[in-house]
A and B are shown apart, each in its own frame.
Chain A
Amino acid sequence: MIMESTDMTEGRTGPHRNLSVPLARLGYAAALLVLLAATSGLEGYDLFLASSILSYAISAMGLNVLMGYNGQISLGHGAFFAIGAYTAAICIDRFAVPFTLTPVIAGIVGMGAGWLIGKPALRLEGVYLALATFGLAIATPTVLRSDLFAEWTGGVQGLFLGIEPAPEWMGLDLDQSIYLTVVAYFGLFAFLTLRLVQGLNGKAWIATRDNPIAARAMGFDVTRAKTRAFVFSVLACSVGGALQAVAVQFVAPDSFPFFLSIALFTAVVVGGLCSPLLGPLLGAAFIVLVPNVTEEIWQGGSWAVYGGVIIGVIAIQSRGLAGIMTGITSWVRDRITGQTTTRYERK
């Protein structure tokens, strides 16, 4: 697979550096402004959809770091998404924690669970990690449904989240306050992901993925790099889960089926591996919007679309939707400036 964007030879060096960094920052600021402007532009269901997409995008960002940058395959991150969501629900239901803070607690709890599962699982490689996490994905719904924890989780019935809107003087309704909270966390995670991926951590992840032995020889701590990628992905997934639960204001075992883990996997692969922000965002939009359309045509239709699109993406454009977008923009730019962009490709 060619993942040019992660090539170590490419980077923020060379003559374009002075221009490209401020330009990129300008781009991020503009994107954030668009997201903020949407608060007043969208309403009701559309705003809810936007919140959903952004919270799934946070999870996908984490999973993309794990799968794209660090090359570890997980088919079970829906479990951490569910843990985050249930933590948020229990915090609000039992301890009346303000909903804006629940993702923080969910992140801490999620990381604890991630450590418990990751500690043994990370010794596995490639397909075996995929198998173990596949088992995790299958086992999660049955655990959530169990009567054993029903007192806390509400069992099959689930829990409603009583969410208070922002104080009167801010002039926001409930949907808007939820959406703004989601945007805030999204901004935070976008920043974190970029910093991690572009820094030494990112180099360690890529080196570990491409050649663990050489990476070790060069002085990278391979185990630590893997653990960090795993913990970050778990953190992002549980925060995303908490925000999703807040947006839906309800959690039940049926909201976290086996299919959820597969959907997160789909979001990362379809959105584009190794595209730190755009890929997860497009992938999340894909998994939120596609079922809305397909489920009306036939039940389980989204499974078919996911399956077909995954195989198609893998076969044709291995960098997913983000790859297609970058392809188009660089084509347009080349037309305007009349020069071809040089690319470095791995392999």
Chain B
Amino acid sequence: MTFFLEQLIIGLSSGGIYAIMALALVMIYKSTGHVNLAQGEMAVFSTFIAWTLVQTGMPLWPAILLTVAVSFVGAIVLERVVVRPFAEADDLVVVAVFVGLFLSIHSLAGAIWNYEVKPFPSAFSDGSVSLMVDLSIRTHTLGSLVTTGAVLTAVWIFFRYTQLGLALRAAADNRESSRLVGINVSLMLALGWGLAAGIGAVAGVMIAPVTFLDPGMGLAPLIFALAGALLGGITSPFGAALGGLIVGVLEAMISAYVPYGIEFRELIALMLILSVLLVRPAGLFGEIVARRV
């Protein structure tokens, strides 16, 4: 029983990170209709920035905040310069551009920080907290769980109760009408990218102490986040966050209880993606989009 609870909390903790990543994917999908394949690499790049700041002697928390700010601005520039020119192109072009972006960011990270695996400090104190008689959990696991909760709540409040959040939702929902009521849609698209990169950076900083930091780190979280986003519905922020949590718990349970489970985690994520797309393409909470012929 304790073992199960332990796995559950570990699953929730990594699921929280997938939830943030999934949320970042949804953010870009909702505002531009693109699935950002480079999301994982962007998060890794941000994490490297945080690492560099820490190396120069900055305390971790300010470093994280600064990283989020830098990622926010960087992503807006990226959207303007690289992605925007192809916004209306057909699928193949858009996918090719994202693959190009993926490769470029990955190799840029490799060129700047090389491919050595680096330890990354946890934002929380070392050691563990004991929850029950013989159940103790690492502070980092608990801390990243709390951070996830905070980020998700903040995003929810932002979209639900602020003027800017409302404008963003409107721009994503109906570009023409939003333009007519005076919303700067182009700015909102850029803002969507910036927010996605910012919360992606948080995910990177939370996962790096567990997986260690190297340029290839973003690949596995990306596929889990993708599975989560599709499971919950890629048009629904709430659904995507929940989907991410479910995928995280599923991953932990399969690794713990199924023989060879650890080796086949990615394959299971793939199966999940395929079956969701086939059985219920809109996901659990996504809206079903009817297309005009």
Pull 13 A–B residue pairs with CB atoms less than 8 Å apart, ordered by A. Answer: A1-B92, A71-B91, A124-B278, A134-B226, A142-B266, A143-B263, A148-B260, A262-B102, A299-B114, A299-B115, A307-B103, A307-B105, A314-B93
* A75 with B95, Cβ < 8 A, contacts A139-B223, A142-B264, A143-B264 known: yes
Contact across chains for A143 and B267 when beta carbons are under 8 A apart: yes
A139 CB contacts on chain B under 8 angstroms: 223, 266-267, 269-270
Chain A 294-329, CB-CB to B under 8 Å as 1, else 0, gives 000011111110111011001100100000000000
Bound-state CA distance A306–B110 (Å) is: 14
A142 CB contacts on chain B under 8 angstroms: 263-267
Interface bin, chain B: 35 or more
User: Taking the complex as formed, is B101 at the interface, i.e. its CB lies under 8 A from any CB of chain A?
Assistant: yes
Among listed A40-48, A125-133, A337-345, interface-contacting one: A125-133
Contact across chains for B278 and A303 when beta carbons are under 8 A apart: no
Contact across chains for B104 and A262 when beta carbons are under 8 A apart: no
User: Taking the complex as formed, is B30 at the interface, i.e. its CB lies under 8 A from any CB of chain A?
Assistant: no
Contact of B91 among A73, A123, A143, A308 (CB under 8 A): A73
Please report whether the interface of chain A is mostly helix, strand, loop or mixed according to DSSP.
helix
A134 CB contacts on chain B under 8 angstroms: 37, 223, 226
Residue of A nearest to B94 (CB): A127
Bound-state CA distance A142–B34 (Å) is: 28
B115 CB contacts on chain A under 8 angstroms: 299-300
User: Taking the complex as formed, is A136 at the interface, i.e. its CB lies under 8 A from any CB of chain B?
Assistant: yes
User: Taking the complex as formed, is A223 at the interface, i.e. its CB lies under 8 A from any CB of chain B?
Assistant: no
Which one of A73, A139, A147 has the greatest number of beta carbons of chain B within 10 Å? A139
Interface residues of A in 6-40 (CB under 8 A from B): none
* A71 with B270, Cβ < 8 A, contacts A124-B277, A300-B106, A314-B97 known: no
Bound-state CA distance A281–B181 (Å) is: 53
* A131 with B273, Cβ < 8 A, contacts A146-B263, A303-B103 known: yes
B91 CB contacts on chain A under 8 angstroms: 71, 73, 126-127, 130
Interface bin, chain A: 35 or more
Bound-state CA distance A128–B101 (Å) is: 18
Contact of A258 among B89, B219, B260, B293 (CB under 8 A): B219
Across chains A and B, the number of contacting residue pairs, with CB separation under 8 Å, is 144
Contact across chains for B99 and A127 when beta carbons are under 8 A apart: no
User: Taking the complex as formed, is A228 at the interface, i.e. its CB lies under 8 A from any CB of chain B?
Assistant: no
Contact of A130 among B95, B220, B269, B275 (CB under 8 A): B95
Beyond contacts A135-B226, A147-B260, A307-B105: 8 other A-B pairs, Cβ-Cβ < 8 A, are A67-B92, A135-B269, A143-B264, A300-B110, A302-B107, A303-B110, A310-B103, A315-B86
B57 CB contacts on chain A under 8 angstroms: none
B101 CB contacts on chain A under 8 angstroms: 307, 311
Contact of A306 among B34, B103, B108 (CB under 8 A): B103
Chain A 233-262, CB-CB to B under 8 Å as 1, else 0, gives 000000000000000000000000010001
B269 CB contacts on chain A under 8 angstroms: 135, 139
* A128 with B277, Cβ < 8 A, contacts A304-B108, A310-B99, A315-B85 known: yes
Chain B 248-282, CB-CB to A under 8 Å as 1, else 0, gives 00000000000010011111011001110110010
